[in-house]
A and B are shown apart, each in its own frame.
Chain A
């Protein structure tokens, strides 16, 4: 069974440019998560979807970040415009049910963003 797929794996952009990350969760998984991980730190939850609904987006900087999960499958995370401090690894994860955080989360390999 394929795991969580993310693309691109690496992205280098100049500040003020837009950028988008794509995530394809494990087939049949209802819950999808986006995390941000800075170097030497643990992941920080940005947004959680149960099917198409964003049930927790309190940590998403809404002035420049947006996310969508159309049809409750794939998801896209966008930053516009990007700032130097956005350089980090963006992780996507999925879990099978909608039992909050009790379900095991399966993580993708991440997208490493570098903003110059």
Chain B
């Protein structure tokens, strides 16, 4: 069963624009991670944020975590056509890991 719920389900933007995706979850977590999946490279880990962290950066990615609202956001700045993919959030509680249904991002050149 899915734990996280991404919003929006689909997002279409122009190259160079920023993309923001949100993830909400239901139960207490240990970590929250974001993954990207496209047909060319399969499922790839992007970034992990621990439950005691509020913000993390990695290159053009910025992730925030609000445990009081049980939500996270992924911001991709200066998007590129190569960022076109599905993005999933995944949460774990040490004993189980659950993915959301994903946001489908399309970046138009």
Contact = CB atoms under 8 A, between A and B. Distances in A.
Interface stretch (A12-20, A41-49, A71-79, A80-88): A41-49
Interface stretch (B13-21, B69-77, B88-96): B88-96
Contact of A42 (B31, B94, B96, B102): B102
Interface residues of A, number: 21
How many of chain B's residues touch chain A, expressed as a range?
20 to 34
Contacts of A59: 96
Given A44-B1, A104-B45, A107-B44, 20 more contacts: A40-B101, A40-B102, A42-B4, A42-B99, A43-B43, A43-B88, A43-B99, A44-B2, A45-B98, A56-B95, A56-B96, A58-B96, A59-B96, A91-B43, A93-B43, A100-B94, A101-B30, A101-B94, A102-B30, A102-B48
